[in-house]
Structure 1
Amino acid sequence: MDSRSNSVNRNTKKNDDDNITQREEALYSVERIFESKEVPSWQNQLTLRAFCVSFILGILFTFIVLKLSLTTGIIPSLNVSAGLLGFFFLKTWTKLLEKSGILKQPFTRQENTVIQTCVVATSGIAFSGGFGSYLFAMSEVAAKQSTEANNAFNIKNPSLGWMIGFLFVVSFLGLFSVVPLRKIMIIDFKLTYPSGTATAHLINSFHTPQGAKLAKKQVKALAKFFSFSFLWGFFQWFFTAGDDCGFASFPTFGLKAYENKFYFDFSATYVGVGMICPYLINISLLLGSILSWGIMWPLIQDRKGHWFPADESPSSLHGLQGYKVFIAIAMILGDGLYNFCKVFGRTLYGLYFQFCSKDEGAVLPVGARPSPPEPSMSFDDQRRTTLFLKDQIPIWVSIVGYVGIAIVSTITLPHIFHQLKWYHIIVIYVFAPVLAFCNAYGCGLTDWSLASTYGKLAIFTIGAWAGASHGGFLLD
């Protein structure tokens, strides 16, 4: 009798705990607040007002990116800023229309995300398009700084016509190469994408209906830490007289460690990214920095004159910098290539299984048919997974688009750059998906895009392949 009573009490307590957990989850659930609101189709999310605001903000952010690219060369993540400004402008727009009685479609968080995506894509092209690096490096002004490259065959002066055509040909490649793998990286690998996650929380908090306790807490926390971060950055500005000065390069561990680049950067950006990234990623980055800057680079530096010329500049790839760049790239490529091979192997296995069994219900790991969310997931994760998999881009569209762009590029790019041959373009497009996946994978973990680094690696490879006598200096 006592054992039966204890069993009943345990079951009752377990049910009570489950009910408490469900109530707490419902209280702090963001998606339950939006559960009654219908999610518009992707066609209704692409509104004229969203594109107008994106156009204005895109121009503003392009100026900011070009200024930073031509001065510091470091471009911070602009996702949060684009989401904030997009919400402010379009919310003001819709409020005016609502007061006038002519508002036809309410402002949704999906529309806010469209603005943020367009603005970030526009400013991203301004950076990755090479306006602060390789496009100007091909000019006559840059060629005069090198006696070896100063000839007409190694010069391509910037011109608005060919630059627009060049960017139109190459800028849509990532859409068709990475989109087929987005389910693998976001749903299966559960990559964080810190900037995207932070922007999503921001947009959700501002679009939460009035009166919700969660929205008030989010807005208060946002305002508090935003004010702290802004004031802290403004305070640091008074102590920054130049590069490697002030709180950006604070010698926390002493001057001897500072010589080996062991210092503390008090930038709130890195602190925020570290708070979003999983602790394993932060530990991995810490161990990597200690292994490289604390052990490897000092040991290699002692081999100066044997492994590399003693009179080389510290920033030259023929000196110590070459070891830093290529060892790091090799490790990133190795890890990314492993995951790419794993995904590719799963895909081949799925194709083989489907053709052998003739089972129409078999789903490929990278298939267009979405898989249902796991029942153990929370309500927010289930709803977001369902919405994410709702509008899928078929695999054949991505393949046809990628092959089509590759054909157009193979035909047009040799006419823009006469030093490039058609087989150079084909090789580039063969290896581009591997590099794109590696970059997307690394960006999902650490929020650091290495697209420019991969681009430099491709530039050196193609330039060496072409040879100095056939335009290799221009391609470098």
Structure 2
Amino acid sequence: MEPVNDFQEGISTEHAFEAEPVPSLSETITPRSMVVSFILSVTLSIVAMKVTLSSGFIPSFSIPAGLLGFCVSRASIRILDYFAVAQLPFTRQENTIIQTCVVACTSITFTGGFGTYILAMGKKAAVGDVNAQNNVEEPSFARMITFLFLISFAGMFIIMPFRKVMIIRHRLTFPSGTATAHLINSFHTPQGVKQARKQVTLLFKSFGGTIAWSLFQWFFASGPGCGFKFFPTFGLEAYKHGFFFDFTMANVGIGMMCPYMIVFSVFIGTIISCGVIWPYIESKEGIWYPSNLGPNSLNGIRGYKVFIGLSMIMADCLFVFLCIMVRTTCAMIKRRRQAMQGGGGNAQPFQGIDIADQPVKSFDDRRRAQVFLRDEIPDSVTIGCYVLLSIISIAAIPHLYPQMRYSHVALIYLAAPVFAFCNAYGFGVTDMNLASTYCKIAMFAFGSWVGIKSGGVVAALVAGGITMSILGNAADVAQDLKTGYLTLTSPRAVFISEAIGTALGCVVNPTVFWVFYRVYKMGSGDMGDMPYAKLYRGFAMLSVGDGEQGLPRHSMLLFKVFFVLALALSVFREVASRKEWRIRRYIPSTIGMAITFFMPPRVPVGMCIGSLVAYLWEKMDAGRGRMLSPALASGLICGDGVGSILLSMLTLMGARAPICIKFLSRGDNVKLDAFLATLHDMR
């Protein structure tokens, strides 16, 4: 009999499920799991699209997907039991498949570039910089779907040959994937069922309440500037500078889910940027830049916003990238030395292994490794599929975006496997997916290569999009394989679920985006301020060497100054963390501060309110606060996203709100009353 407690891992997880047989592939990927996955994928994709278009922050949907998958499946079982329909038991493996499929679909909201490079190619993001036709590409529904199908599957195939190296040989942690696996395992115990029921009850209450609140607000927003979202929460003077709460529940939910330090950093960045820097630069209008420019002109105030924020993000990304590379290299060297000391001196670091190559001591490790190595997908198949996808993409992408040449696409696919492994390995060590950082590197490389006259802005964005999709999806697949490893889910089942979710995402996400985009084009929708689209456009402009042409005075000087300041802050924060100084808890995140240069203050205000609610809840009742606040936040985010779709559908159908509420100062109200009295007298 194996010991229940393991000295390395504590209490054994697999002993609790020892009596349950591992389900087969057909018992894991079931019609029930596919139906539930489809429903949740569509719902959460709507939510993710709304969030990425409005604020740019995309919270992880792994835990909500696992929780909702569990509860929706259990509800369907009860319904079928009521009608006496025979069915398979709901297992943690099926729960993992649902979670994998849903996350694969929703992640395309980010890697597909709907809030970043797709919008950055359009005319709205290009206002004030380069208006040449070859540097502007408006979104096209058919082209988006085709492009996504070309680029979204490559990362899945290229990471599969490295799965045993990362998960069994090097035993990478993948913290988020491990946390999701523990959550799913806990759901399928008696105590976990009770906890999940409480979480889902609160989630659906907040979900329904948020939808009702969105519809209620619509009745009072019949025109521009109407509605509760323009309520001057902190007074009219603060409202003029953008500091007010717009009652967007998604921002509140994001604030509840984000770490306190991130929200604190966003708050500090908002105070510095919108409270200090922008008022000072605006006072220089007519001196540093022409006074007749609009707020979106890169030659005016927007030029300062883009390049100051861009410099801080570049500094932080550069520092994080170097840190990840150093940590990854050290971790690989350390594990290699341990393997050699343990008698594996002749083993190559990346060769295929079987269960005999890597003996494991605990009962959990042995059982998990056995399942993980049982249902393999041959490396020759995955590599062959990657090569085939590469050839198709090399031939097709230049026809979708003529700014890209065949050689450009070929070079990306040739280099992608190396960077995909590096990114996935770093993701497993640090839980930081640097796909967007590699994306920016690709943008600089290909933008400068193509040049502005040949459409380098669009080429940079397309190259960055391909890179981000391949590397981001590869890291996500590696994390999902870790989740499957810890829940005894076959890697073949995980891979198939990932493929289904990716294919679904390539259709669902463009459709959802197109609904938002059509409403926006009609002039009635709210596409948000597109903070990340403007950021990516700025990166592309800088990459083609057009950075200083026509920019306002001192903008590049400020770029260099803030780059140095941000780099110094990143280094100081890292040193403080390593030395465990007390001040480390109060050093803001550079990236959190930088993103506020691209977003209006009302977004951080909503996030701060959400973070404050979560903090006070945990102070009053720590146990319930930690357990239920993620469910409440998920309900707020989901409800706001679904509510936005409902309002968009009302707009498409030609419905108009019957009432307009506006908030005026006392003086403006007196003038309005006098004007209305004049109209009454004229009658």
TM-score by length of 1: 0.68
**Relative contact order higher in (CA < 8 Å, ≥ 6 apart):** 2
Paired AA for residue 385 in structure 1: A
Structure 1 pair 113–446 and aligned structure 2 pair: CA distance change class (3 A) = same
Q: CA deviation at 1:72?
A: 2.1
Note the alpha carbon deviations across 1:439-472, whole angstroms, 9 max, x for none: 2122223322221222122122111111111110
Q: Which residue of 1 is the match for residue 40 of structure 2?
A: 57
Paired AA for residue 315 in structure 2: Y
Percent of residue pairs bearing the same amino acid type: 40
1:458 paired to 2:449: no
Deviates more, 1:382-391 or 1:441-450: 441-450
Paired AA for residue 307 in structure 2: S
Q: CA deviation at 1:103?
A: 2.0
Note the alpha carbon deviations across 1:23-77, whole angstroms, 9 max, x for none: 5569943312222222122243111111111111111111111112112212121
Match of 2:94 among 102, 106, 111: 111
Structure 1 pair 371–271 and aligned structure 2 pair: CA distance change class (3 A) = farther
Note the alpha carbon deviations across 1:396-448, whole angstroms, 9 max, x for none: 11210111111001000000000101110111112212222222122223322
Q: Which residue of 1 is the match for residue 76 of structure 2?
A: 93
2 CA distance for matches of 1:268 and 1:162?
34
1 CA distance for matches of 2:91 and 2:203?
28
Deviates more, 1:424-433 or 1:403-412: 424-433
Match of 1:367 among 324, 349, 352: 352
Deviates more, 1:446-455 or 1:63-72: 446-455
Paired AA for residue 48 in structure 1: P
Deviates more, 1:67-76 or 1:365-374: 365-374
Q: Which residue of 1 is the match for residue 134 of structure 2?
A: 153
Q: How does 1:12-411 map to 2 (within 5 A)?
A: 22=3, 24=5, 28-143=11-126, 145-147=127-129, 149-208=130-189, 215-216=190-191, 218=192, 269-270=258-259, 313=304, 315-316=306-307, 319-333=311-325, 335-336=327-328, 365-367=350-352, 369-371=354-356, 374-377=359-362, 379-411=363-395
1 CA distance for matches of 2:411 and 2:35?
39
Q: CA deviation at 1:99?
A: 3.9
Note the alpha carbon deviations across 1:146-200, whole angstroms, 9 max, x for none: 33x2011112111110100000000001111112112221212222222211211
Q: Which residue of 2 is the match for residue 6 of structure 1?
A: none
Paired AA for residue 376 in structure 1: K
Paired AA for residue 316 in structure 2: K
2 CA distance for matches of 1:228 and 1:447?
29
Structure 1 pair 272–459 and aligned structure 2 pair: CA distance change class (3 A) = closer
Note the alpha carbon deviations across 1:259-295, whole angstroms, 9 max, x for none: xxxxxx996654899xxxxxxxxxxxxxxxxxxxxxx
Structure 1 pair 321–171 and aligned structure 2 pair: CA distance change class (3 A) = closer
1 CA distance for matches of 2:87 and 2:54?
45
Q: Which residue of 2 is the match for residue 257 of structure 1?
A: none
Structure 1 pair 321–420 and aligned structure 2 pair: CA distance change class (3 A) = same
2 CA distance for matches of 1:371 and 1:271?
45
1 CA distance for matches of 2:335 and 2:155?
18
1 CA distance for matches of 2:32 and 2:200?
28
Structure 1 pair 183–269 and aligned structure 2 pair: CA distance change class (3 A) = farther
Match of 1:431 among 415, 425, 443: 415
Contact 1:367–1:395 (CA under 8 A) maintained in structure 2? no
Q: CA deviation at 1:87?
A: 0.5
The unaligned stretches of length 5 or more in structure 2 are 205-232, 246-253, 263-300, 337-344, 460-539, 541-683
Paired AA for residue 191 in structure 1: L
1:467 paired to 2:451: yes
- Paired residue secondary structure (1:39): coil
Paired AA for residue 199 in structure 1: T
Paired AA for residue 201 in structure 1: H
Contact 1:373–1:386 (CA under 8 A) maintained in structure 2? no
2 CA distance for matches of 1:446 and 1:267?
22
1 CA distance for matches of 2:261 and 2:381?
37
- Paired residue secondary structure (2:359): coil
Structure 1 pair 173–57 and aligned structure 2 pair: CA distance change class (3 A) = same
- Paired residue secondary structure (1:22): coil
2 CA distance for matches of 1:115 and 1:179?
20
Q: Which residue of 2 is the match for residue 444 of structure 1?
A: 428
Paired AA for residue 51 in structure 2: L
The unaligned stretches of length 5 or more in structure 1 are 1-18, 209-214, 231-239, 247-264, 274-310, 345-352, 355-361
Paired AA for residue 390 in structure 2: A
1 CA distance for matches of 2:327 and 2:109?
29
Structure 1 pair 138–121 and aligned structure 2 pair: CA distance change class (3 A) = same
Structure 1 pair 435–245 and aligned structure 2 pair: CA distance change class (3 A) = farther
Structure 1 pair 198–341 and aligned structure 2 pair: CA distance change class (3 A) = closer
1 CA distance for matches of 2:10 and 2:407?
59
Contact 1:314–1:321 (CA under 8 A) maintained in structure 2? no
Structure 1 pair 191–335 and aligned structure 2 pair: CA distance change class (3 A) = same
Structure 1 pair 109–219 and aligned structure 2 pair: CA distance change class (3 A) = closer
Q: CA deviation at 1:376?
A: 2.0
Structure 1 pair 88–388 and aligned structure 2 pair: CA distance change class (3 A) = same
- Paired residue secondary structure (1:381): helix
Structure 1 pair 471–266 and aligned structure 2 pair: CA distance change class (3 A) = closer
Contact 1:368–1:392 (CA under 8 A) maintained in structure 2? no
Q: Over the residues paired in the alignment, what is the CA RMSD in angstroms?
A: 4.2
2 CA distance for matches of 1:316 and 1:447?
28
Contact 1:316–1:322 (CA under 8 A) maintained in structure 2? no
2 CA distance for matches of 1:193 and 1:438?
14
TM-score by length of 2: 0.49
Q: CA deviation at 1:91?
A: 1.2
1 CA distance for matches of 2:326 and 2:392?
31
Paired AA for residue 133 in structure 1: T
Match of 2:398 among 397, 414, 417: 414
Structure 1 pair 114–221 and aligned structure 2 pair: CA distance change class (3 A) = closer
Contact 1:332–1:438 (CA under 8 A) maintained in structure 2? no
Structure 1 pair 155–226 and aligned structure 2 pair: CA distance change class (3 A) = same
